[in-house]
Structure 1
Amino acid sequence: MEFDGQVALVTGSTAGIGREVARLLARGGARVVVTGRDAARGAGTVASIEAEGGRARFVAADLADLGSVRALAAAVGEVDVLVNNAAVFPFAATAEQDAEGFRRLFDVNVRGPFFLTAALLPGMAARGRGSVVNVSTSLTHVPVPGGAVYAATKAALESLTRTWAVEFRGTGVRVNAVAPGATETGTALALNPGSVAEVGRAAPIGRPATPREIAEAVVFLASPRAAYVHGELLLADGGRTLS
């Protein structure tokens, strides 16, 4: 299997896209570190992986807390695959955005992935191998009202993807990103199920994505099948940016 002998860390993997990424990586032979704030949901993800014959463990972490990010990096140790998936996305009109919500969006979506990657990527480089996949959003390309701060955090993550690809050139480490379109995650559906369906129908493919479909794109970029893909953004949005 293509991830045999590898350790994969997937942030925000207790539900949604991250959970499906963790399951697919485990099916590919990786030992997966599941992480998030909810221990019960984390245990559920680990149990689902083990039920399929995979290997996984849960490490609690809150990406809004820099100390928790550093503790996560220390607890995990050497990692071969890092998927920066965890994010928060409360929408607000620009004139109504409060400073605390603004700060939390950047803490979780940008600062957390930055310092987690900063802690783990040098070890990958020293071993001469590794893959980082950042999960962005198609809203950096197709803006929507109320999504200003969320899209800005993901645009920053896309910029980090390109910078890290250049900064760690020649080390054997690849860094890429996936930008999902409307996806039927539990969180998105709980916030606004009508919007998910509407945006999905607006895409040329005519429907929203399932978490598994986005996870397949993430795992492809992490795998040896994408060995010559580096510093790229894969739009997994059903063609929404074309319409």
Structure 2
Amino acid sequence: MELKDQVALITGGTAGIGLETARLFVREGASVVIAGRNPERGAKAVAELADGPGSARFAAADLGDLEDVRRLAEDAGPVDILVNNASLFPVATTVDQDVETFQRLFDTNVRGTFFLTAALAPAMLAKGAGSIVNVSTMAAVMGVPGASVYSATKAALASFTRTWAAEFSPSGVRVNSVAPGPTLTDGVVVEWGDGVAELGKSIPLRRTAGPAEIAESILFLASARSSFVTGANLAADGGATAI
């Protein structure tokens, strides 16, 4: 068990990539806190993850609300692993983008992630160990129509990865990011419909990813397998950014 005795917080952990990451972490022995906005979905997710050998519990939090971010940091307590996965990703072209949704994306994807990390990092730094994994996207480095604001928020996470690695790694805390390509989750299908499958057909592997495939990349960066890796961005995108 690669994560035995490790405490992990996964934001956006009740569905999609976050839930599959939680499933993998529990299987590897971690005590996992999954954070999300919907308590009903959280309870369902915890029930799914009850098999062990690790454990899971739910913490309700809206990362767009700084008071919720503060409460989540207190509830989670000191963690060994932080997976910044929660994000909003509504689709809109630039000329159709409304200000309210623009603000919600930055509040959740960027501001919430930043201040949650700022709250949890001191305990990691004091311990001299820890791993932070930011979930970005291939759209942070390539143009995807309809994803202008979403991709900008995820480019910010990639920037955080580099800066936090420079700030935290001298104290033993590694910071990396995973940049998934088109991934078939329920949330993505709701927002993008058939567009995600079409996007998958355009990349070298000619398909979309399953969320469990992205979870494997997150486990790699969170675990001792990547003990000499920090400040890196792992492109789990089926070759999309290679062409």
User: TM-score, normalised on structure 1?
Assistant: 0.98
Unaligned 5+ runs, structure 2: none
Contact 2:17 2:212 in 1 (8 A): yes
Mapped pair 1:22 → 2:22: yes
What corresponds to 1:154 in structure 2?
A: 154
Contact 2:28 2:53 in 1 (8 A): no
Query: Identity rate of aligned residues, in percent?
Result: 58
What corresponds to 2:236 in structure 1?
A: 236
Q: Which amino acid aligns with 1:128?
A: G
Structure 1 residues 14-23 or 89-98, which shifts more? 89-98
Q: Which amino acid aligns with 1:144?
A: V
CA distance in 2, matches of 1:230, 1:52: 29
CA distance in 2, matches of 1:148, 1:16: 22
What corresponds to 1:72 in structure 2?
A: 72
| Secondary structure of 2:48's aligned partner | helix
Unaligned 5+ runs, structure 1: none
What corresponds to 2:89 in structure 1?
A: 89
User: Deviations 1:75-119 (Å, cap 9, x if unpaired)?
Assistant: 111100000000001121212211111110000000011000000
CA distance in 2, matches of 1:191, 1:160: 26
Q: Shift in Å at residue 48 of structure 1? A: 1.2
What corresponds to 1:127 in structure 2?
A: 127
Q: Which amino acid aligns with 1:166?
A: A
Q: Which amino acid aligns with 2:36?
A: G
| Secondary structure of 1:170's aligned partner | helix
CA distance in 2, matches of 1:139, 1:4: 34
What corresponds to 2:184 in structure 1?
A: 184
CA distance in 2, matches of 1:103, 1:222: 30
Structure 1 residues 57-66 or 43-52, which shifts more? 43-52
What corresponds to 2:164 in structure 1?
A: 164
Contact 2:46 2:56 in 1 (8 A): yes
Mapped pair 1:197 → 2:202: no
Q: Shift in Å at residue 201 of structure 1? A: 1.1
Q: Shift in Å at residue 53 of structure 1? A: 4.0
Mapped pair 1:5 → 2:5: yes
Q: Which amino acid aligns with 1:236?
A: A
CA distance in 1, matches of 2:194, 2:96: 23
- The list of structure 1 runs, each at least 4 consecutive aligned residues, that deviate by more than 4 angstroms after superposition, is none
User: Deviations 1:121-149 (Å, cap 9, x if unpaired)?
Assistant: 11101001100000000001221122111
CA distance in 1, matches of 2:200, 2:105: 24
What corresponds to 1:142 in structure 2?
A: 142
User: Deviations 1:19-50 (Å, cap 9, x if unpaired)?
Assistant: 00011111111000011011111111111111
CA distance in 2, matches of 1:13, 1:181: 19
Q: Which amino acid aligns with 1:5?
A: D
| Secondary structure of 2:50's aligned partner | helix
Q: Which amino acid aligns with 2:199?
A: V
Contact 2:183 2:211 in 1 (8 A): yes
After superposition, residues 216-231 of structure 1 pair within 5 angstroms as 216-231=216-231
Q: Shift in Å at residue 51 of structure 1? A: 2.8
Contact 2:91 2:191 in 1 (8 A): no
CA distance in 2, matches of 1:45, 1:120: 24
Q: Which amino acid aligns with 1:167?
A: E
Q: Which amino acid aligns with 1:60?
A: A
**What is the RMSD computed on CA atoms of the aligned residues?**
1.0
Q: Shift in Å at residue 193 of structure 1? A: 3.0
Q: Which amino acid aligns with 2:37?
A: R
